[in-house]
Amino acid sequence: MKTLDLSDPRSRRRVVAVLAAAVAVLTLTGVGVYGLITGPPSYDRDDDRPPRPVVTAPADSVPTTAPRLPTVAASENPESFARNVAETLFAWDTASGFMPLDYTSVILATGDPSGAEQAGLASDIAAYLPTRDAWIELRQYATTQHLTIDNLFVPDDWDTAIEQAQPGQLLPGTVAYTVEGTRHREGLWNDEEVTSEHAVAFTVFLVCGPAYDTCHLLRLSQLDNPLR
């Protein structure tokens, strides 16, 4: 096994980045993955007590534009819309001044116009976002998040679901796409940038034409428990 050389600055930064991603668990039933960017403990030679962390926020500057919430680009193509939903779902910035409910509203705006799944969808989205308390903690480290998609496909399990559905249970144009990708987080610890990466997988359930002229989001699967 190759020994990690901690005298190499790049190796030290890599260790800091790995240690910096602590995860809190949340989902629809209380399970989901959210990493708090924290730093490794350090001790003064003359004091065995761990010092309080020194959190450094980005230097104040005059913003050129006001922060804006992300948006889900509308599309009548189900694959494109599934991709748009997935990327927006994971796109947030704790330093923007917005809160988790603001990001929730962005996804909810794409929901089924009938409102039949709105309550369930709101619960689904909440499982993908940090809680308010976790958000406030993450804000201390100017934490941001985004998703890169590696694979997007209609799962085989969806064919089984279609076969087992009762007549009229699913609107015409209802489809599921499973997303496999990597969640990226960046933040600041003691004035140094730290990052973390985590593989994620989930399924988005959509309804498009002929039921509607454009696609709408119905529900989200449990994070890391997608249809295959």
Give residue-wise pLDDT tens across range 145-164. 999 999 999 999 999 999 99
72 found inside a domain: no
45 found inside a domain: no
149 found inside a domain: yes
Low-confidence ranges of the chain (pLDDT < 70): 1-64
51 found inside a domain: no
227 found inside a domain: no
60 found inside a domain: no
Q: How far is residue 94's CA from residue 68's CA, in Å, rounded to a whole number?
A: 12
155 found inside a domain: yes
Verdict on whether the full-model pTM lies above 0.95: no
- Which burial class, exposed, middle or buried, applies to 49 when counting CB atoms under 10 A from its CB (0-12, 13-18, 19+)? exposed
Q: Which residues lie below 8 Å from residue 183, measured CB to CB, with a gap of 6+? A: 33, 90, 145, 146, 147, 197, 198, 199, 200
Which range marks the domain in which residue 24 is found? 9-37+82-220
102 found inside a domain: yes
When divided into structural domains, the chain yields a total of 1
The confidence score (pLDDT) of residue 47 equals 46
pLDDT digits (tens, 9 = 90+) for 110-145: 999 999 999 999 999 999 999 999 999 999 999 999
